[in-house]
Chain A
Amino acid sequence: MKKYFANIWGTITTLKTGMGITWRHMMNIKKDNVTLQYPEERWPRPERDIGFEHEDYNVIRSRLHVDIDDCIGCLKCERACPVDCIKIDTIKAPTRGEDIPNIGHTGVTENGTNKALVVSRFTIDMSECCYCNLCVYPCPEECIYMVGGPNSPKHPIDYEFSEFDRKDLIYEFSKPLTSEQKSELMNPKPDAEA
């Protein structure tokens, strides 16, 4: 009999403490409200209550970006990708380290290496990318990186890159080459040979 009443009393007290907690949370909602009003407030909120700044981020894995002028076509990132979503085609440049103005090919990269190949096609299929960042490390010219983080001065963080059509998720980074420019590059004219 005694256990019966103790049971009831235990129920009442524990339920009361539970209700007390929810009441306290309701009362000071102003202080610990965590909702992020999306269109107005964007992620990451810099002064998030842990208090670290946006520049402190080591890296932001939001979207891959390639500075095509620095790319020497060494295919290291293509090999490093676990899901094979990077596809690069290169054509042998007529002379090493020479600019080819009409197709906007710069001969020398930012940190001074001469380019022997013209990158005719550099596509990354962002719908297949698994954001593992493995392609960023082997690149000798550091021309492929994820947007944001230390790169944020050049590219602010953006994570809204959804598209209506899957094909738009295939990013084409190389400069557009018409077919005859390609063929002209492939087999240079005899006089250039002599």
Chain B
Amino acid sequence: MGVVQGDQMVLNIGPQHPSTHGVLRLKVWTDGEIVSEIKPYIGYLHRCFEKHSENVTYEQVIPFTDRCDYIASMNNNFGYVVTMEELMEIKVPERVEYIRVIMAELNRIASHLLALGVYGLDVGAFTPFLYMFRDRERILDIFELTCGARLLYNYMWVGGVSHDLPKDFERICIGFLDYFEPKIKEYNDLLTHNKIFLERTADVGVLPPDVAINFGVSGPNLRGSGVNWDVRKDEPYSIYDRFEFEIPLGEGEFGTVGDSFDRYWVRMCEMKESIKIIRQAIKDLPDGDVFQTIPKKIRPPKGSIYRRTESPRGDLGYYIISDGSPIPYRVKMRSPAFTALSSLGEIAQGWMLSDVIAILGSLDIVLGEIDR
């Protein structure tokens, strides 16, 4: 039956809107409820990260990387620090590697908890958001115990970490993991298998694999479309090759592969994998001094390097060019949410207004990282 072509209405899902995950403006051409075209406008949170990093020394860039993706700051630091150590050929002691993996995976769970909770909010369920934030607070307590900060840590330094682990960190961390594992089952019962939730997310905003690769989408969004790509497995950095964990892919149980439900489901399974990694890391956590290889004065050799790491939102790449002085010549951050948002215009066409909000939620973007 022919679709009735009414006249178009331009709608601004404006910079100030309850569900744009930050300051983002979507210019939407709608015909009734059906959306015919979307143009995202970004740049409202642009704080010139790259210009700043050309005026501060190498260790002073780390607080700025924290503030790009403020939900997964540990992984931002991790990316920057791994790239710098590869540039300067620093070999960090074992204990630092294990601490970094534990912190990065804890931060991945915290970031996924926020992503899934806010996704439930976008689809209309209030309670899962509060359950997930209650558990996220427990992780933030652990971070506060080690480095004093709850959201922006400046914890990982080039060549080491800023603080050693507190007294009985193993007991506390294992305590959290045992507390948290049954909670995932509770989220699944409450939200994932809920028929209304499935109705709202299955078959919505389908991102086919080739379009995903063409749009440079990465991380859980790409794995939701069934592409087996995880930087921790395919370009292993730090000591990720010592742990065995699977990579969850979207199989399209309740709809086609690559729909919003798959992206949601991949994030839920990734939390289980992260718990496995942390358990293995804590089991064989060596002792040692963490401040040993922190260089007093960072003067990397002349040259450039591009290195990718797996942040909860995808491939977080750092392109660092140094000219031998203690001030970086150029630091470029390739942000995964930037490419995920660029694909929104493609996959949200033809859906209804409330689906656009659901698809935006399933892409899990953070505007701090997009605008840098």
Binding site for B on A (CB under 8 A): 10-11, 14-15, 17-18, 20-22, 25, 34, 44, 48-52, 56-61, 80, 82, 130-134, 137, 146, 149
Q: Does A58 lie within 8 Å of B166, measured CB to CB? A: yes
- Interface residue total, chain B, C-beta cutoff 8 A: 42
Q: Does B195 lie within 8 Å of A15, measured CB to CB? A: yes
* Chain A residues within an 8 Å CB radius of B186: 21
Q: Does B141 lie within 8 Å of A133, measured CB to CB? A: no
The 14 sampled A-B contact pairs (Cβ below 8 Å) are A14-B193, A15-B194, A17-B189, A18-B190, A44-B144, A50-B172, A50-B175, A50-B176, A52-B145, A52-B166, A57-B145, A58-B166, A130-B63, A134-B154
Known contacts being A21-B190, A58-B147, A133-B154, is A82 close to B195, with CB within 8 Å?
no
The 4 closest A-B pairs by CB, nearest first: A82-B60, A132-B63, A59-B148, A11-B195
Q: Does A51 lie within 8 Å of B172, measured CB to CB? A: yes
Distance in Å: Cβ of A75 to nearest Cβ of chain B: 15
Distance in Å: Cβ of B235 to nearest Cβ of chain A: 29
* Chain A residues within an 8 Å CB radius of B141: 44, 48, 50
Secondary structure dominating the interface of A: loop
Distance in Å: Cβ of B263 to nearest Cβ of chain A: 20
Known contacts being A17-B189, A50-B142, is A61 close to B148, with CB within 8 Å?
yes
Complex: A18 Cα to B194 Cα, angstroms? 7
* Chain B residues within an 8 Å CB radius of A149: 148
* Chain A residues within an 8 Å CB radius of B166: 52, 56-58
- Among residues 141 to 172 in chain B, which have CB atoms less than 8 Å away from a CB atom of chain A? 141-142, 144-149, 152, 154, 162-164, 166-168, 172
Binding site for A on B (CB under 8 A): 56, 59-64, 66-67, 127, 131, 134, 137-138, 141-142, 144-149, 152, 154, 162-164, 166-168, 172, 175-176, 179, 186, 189-191, 193-196
Complex: A34 Cα to B137 Cα, angstroms? 10
* Chain A residues within an 8 Å CB radius of B196: 11, 15
Distance in Å: Cβ of A43 to nearest Cβ of chain B: 10
Complex: A57 Cα to B148 Cα, angstroms? 7
Name the CB-closest residue of A to B134: A34
Q: Does A59 lie within 8 Å of B147, measured CB to CB? A: yes
* Chain B residues within an 8 Å CB radius of A50: 138, 141-142, 172, 175-176
Name the CB-closest residue of A to B55: A82
Distance in Å: Cβ of A46 to nearest Cβ of chain B: 11
Question: Which one, A18, A58, A134, contacts B163 given CB within 8 A?
Answer: A58
Known contacts being A10-B195, A14-B194, A61-B149, is A134 close to B59, with CB within 8 Å?
yes
* Chain B residues within an 8 Å CB radius of A17: 189-190, 193
Complex: A50 Cα to B60 Cα, angstroms? 33
Complex: A82 Cα to B55 Cα, angstroms? 9
* Chain B residues within an 8 Å CB radius of A82: 56, 60-61, 63-64
Known contacts being A15-B194, A82-B56, is A21 close to B145, with CB within 8 Å?
no
Question: Which one, A21, A49, A80, contacts B189 given CB within 8 A?
Answer: A21
Distance in Å: Cβ of A98 to nearest Cβ of chain B: 32
Complex: A21 Cα to B127 Cα, angstroms? 10
* Chain A residues within an 8 Å CB radius of B167: 56
Complex: A4 Cα to B3 Cα, angstroms? 26
Known contacts being A50-B175, A82-B60, is A59 close to B163, with CB within 8 Å?
yes
Complex: A58 Cα to B146 Cα, angstroms? 6
Complex: A21 Cα to B137 Cα, angstroms? 21
* Chain A residues within an 8 Å CB radius of B190: 17-18, 21-22
Complex: A3 Cα to B324 Cα, angstroms? 69
* Chain B residues within an 8 Å CB radius of A44: 141, 144
Name the CB-closest residue of B to A14: B195
